[in-house]
Amino acid sequence: METSKSPEITHKDTHAKSLSEAFVNSFGSYPIGYALGIVILPLSVGWIQEDPLTVNLLITAIYAAVSFGRTYILRRIFVKFGIDDNFIRLGIKGASKISKIFSKRKIKNE
């Protein structure tokens, strides 16, 4: 049985790219989960005492759905922009570009 690959997929998924995606996904999930907890947990305080099983299942389903959505969106961003470089290198490149922009503005203001 032959399987044909899509012609749109042209570059190989590298270890560095996978590591970058995992890093962004892991550390990007903390603020999202924290904000979600601030919203969900106070809303479920009274209900969790009445029906803990249902509430725990609902909270788990909400966290799982948000995690799936976050992972999907980040993956699409990585594919769309062709981010296949190491995340740390990208951060260093971005910081140097930002510092160059600020230094150019400083020179213009003088």
Per-residue pLDDT of the chain (110 residues; tens, 9 = 90+): 444 444 454 455 677 777 777 788 788 888 998 999 999 989 888 888 898 899 999 999 999 999 999 888 888 887 777 665 555 666 777 778 888 887 877 676 66
Kindly report the CA angle at 43 between 40 and 44, in degrees rounded to 5? Answer: 85
Q: What's the pLDDT score for residue 65?
A: 95
Query: In terms of pTM, does the model score above 0.85?
Result: no
Long-range contacts of 54-62 (CB under 8 A, 24+ apart): 62/36
Q: What's the pLDDT score for residue 7?
A: 45
Count how many residues are written for the chain: 110
Q: What's the pLDDT score for residue 1?
A: 45
In whole angstroms, what is the distance from residue 32 CA to residue 63 CA? Answer: 10
Q: What's the pLDDT score for residue 106?
A: 67
